[in-house]
């Protein structure tokens, strides 16, 4: 919708950067958003929050000189409204139309594309291993990654291609060399940054169990077998095979303190089992996931932190702002972790959420079976991740 050329408003429209908007939301300010994208785009992916009021009125409702009164009646005139769209063109036009009618409006720079470029680094304060551990958070899609630094070395787990430069910038800030870039599995919701980082001299690591899916670049990277360990200064990253979400799903235990579970276990849900083999293979994958959770994850000490590769709108951050939680806490809060196998499989297969947008193309790109330039890769991964099973019946009261 934003490929159109919209006329320049006759009034000056203030803009808000994505970081500024995120800061207001995080500070608890009441924010009113007018999303001018098509309804289908809005329903699939939007900016949410307890203090966010979001209204969807597509941009085409504002193209006529005389805007329908029913349209205007949907827009509050007693507070500031931030207009947004996909890339920023339609929102400036809509904001101009409203400003000419006396509304207090601004618009979001670069729209949802700009929102998707927010990438925050938060220290995991409860991590008590060697070095320092950080969690990367991408609020637009709920993607999470991890950076461990110790001595003069660093490693990133589940890096995103769109933020390759950011990892090097952070490494420079901490005065470390980025030694490893590690993937937990073949992702279905975003383009991995492991190969791009490897091209820049970082040792790329992918699970050996994922290679059989048709990875075309395995010979150029290190393949991690179950039990393999990688040293980052005095910190140890241990490979823990946890298949289920995918056949190659692998977790990494960081210095015995935090298990980076990829898409196997999240702080509010468990993995969905259907993205690799489809509905036909989902039941067997669910049984495999159950075994992995019970034997490889929940068998760790209760105080071991879990950090997944995603979080959803229903996830509650810990006091340090990270989406991490001890295994003991998750066992108490999540019914799925104390069910028997039959009940577990039945529950997670009962109500599967929509598959991630463009997941087939994303998987093929991450396998190396098709190419995408940086712009194409960024466009492919816009939208929600949907890598967890439905949260209905999974969590406790």
Active site residues: 85
Determine the Cα–Cα distance for residues 316 and 322; give it in Å rounded to an integer.
9
Tokens at 98, concatenated: 């409203």
Could you say which DSSP state residue 353 is in?
Answer: P
Determine the Cα–Cα distance for residues 204 and 182; give it in Å rounded to an integer.
6
Determine the Cα–Cα distance for residues 166 and 120; give it in Å rounded to an integer.
10
Cα separations in angstroms, 193 against 103, 214, 296, 344: 43, 18, 27, 33
Beta bridge partners of 307: 260, 324
CA trace torsion 320, 393, 354, 290 (10° rounding): 80
Please choose, from the candidates 241, 172, 253, 254, the residue with its C-alpha nearest in 3D space to the C-alpha of residue 209: 241
DSSP assignment of 27-65, as one string?
TT--EEEEE-S-HHHHHHS----TTEEEEE--GGGGSSS
- Listed in sequence order, the residues at least 6 apart from 173 whose beta carbon sits closer than 8 Å to its beta carbon are none
Please choose, from the candidates 159, 144, 203, the residue with its C-alpha nearest in 3D space to the C-alpha of residue 178: 203
- Listed in sequence order, the residues at least 6 apart from 388 whose beta carbon sits closer than 8 Å to its beta carbon are 263, 266, 268, 269, 270, 271, 272, 310, 312, 353
Q: Is 259 left (phi over 0), alpha (psi -120 to 50) or beta?
A: beta
- Listed in sequence order, the residues at least 6 apart from 36 whose beta carbon sits closer than 8 Å to its beta carbon are 57, 58, 59, 62, 83, 84, 85, 90, 91, 94
Could you say which DSSP state residue 296 is in?
Answer: I
> Phi and psi dihedrals of 68, rounded to 5?
-60, 135
Please choose, from the candidates 328, 332, 335, 289, the residue with its C-alpha nearest in 3D space to the C-alpha of residue 305: 328
């Amino acid at each position: 919708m934003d490929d159109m050329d919209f006329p320049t408003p006759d009034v000056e429209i203030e803009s808000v950067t994505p970081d500024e908007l995120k800061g207001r939301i995080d500070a608890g300010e009441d924010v009113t958003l007018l999303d001018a994208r098509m309804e289908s785009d809005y329903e699939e992916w939007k900016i949410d929050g307890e203090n966010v009021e979001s209204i969807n009125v597509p941009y085409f409702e504002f193209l006529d000189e005389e805007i329908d009164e029913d349209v205007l009646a949907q827009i509050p005139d007693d507070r500031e409204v931030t207009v947004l769209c996909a890339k920023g063109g339609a929102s400036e036009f809509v904001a101009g139309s409203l400003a000419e009618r006396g509304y207090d409006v601004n618009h979001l720079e670069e729209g949802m594309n700009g929102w998707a470029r927010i990438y925050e680094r938060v220290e995991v304060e409860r991590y008590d291993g060697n070095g320092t551990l950080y969690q990367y958070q991408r609020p637009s899609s709920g993607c999470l990654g991890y950076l461990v630094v110790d001595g003069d070395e660093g490693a990133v787990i589940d890096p995103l291609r769109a933020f390759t430069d950011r990892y090097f910038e952070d490494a420079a800030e901490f005065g470390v060399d980025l030694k490893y870039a590690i993937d937990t599995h073949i992702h279905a919701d975003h383009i991995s940054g492991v190969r791009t980082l490897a091209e820049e001299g970082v040792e790329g690591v992918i699970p050996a169990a994922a290679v059989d899916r048709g990875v075309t670049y395995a010979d150029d990277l290190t393949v991690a077998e179950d039990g393999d360990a990688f040293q980052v200064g005095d910190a140890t990253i241990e490979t823990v095979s946890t298949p289920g979400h995918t056949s190659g799903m692998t977790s990494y235990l960081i210095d015995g303190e935090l298990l980076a579970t990829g898409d196997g276990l999240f702080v509010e849900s468990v993995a969905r089992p259907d993205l690799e083999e489809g509905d036909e293979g989902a039941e067997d994958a669910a049984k495999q996931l159950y075994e992995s959770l019970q034997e490889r994850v929940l068998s760790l000490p209760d105080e071991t932190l879990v950090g997944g590769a995603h979080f959803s709108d229903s996830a509650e951050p810990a006091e340090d702002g990270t989406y991490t939680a001890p295994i003991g806490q998750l066992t108490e809060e999540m019914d799925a972790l104390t069910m028997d196998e039959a009940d577990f499989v039945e529950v997670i297969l009962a109500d599967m959420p929509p598959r991630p947008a463009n997941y087939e193309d994303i998987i093929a790109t991450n396998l190396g079976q098709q190419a995408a330039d940086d712009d194409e890769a960024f466009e492919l991964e816009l939208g929600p991740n949907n890598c967890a099973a439905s949260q209905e019946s999974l969590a406790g009261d």
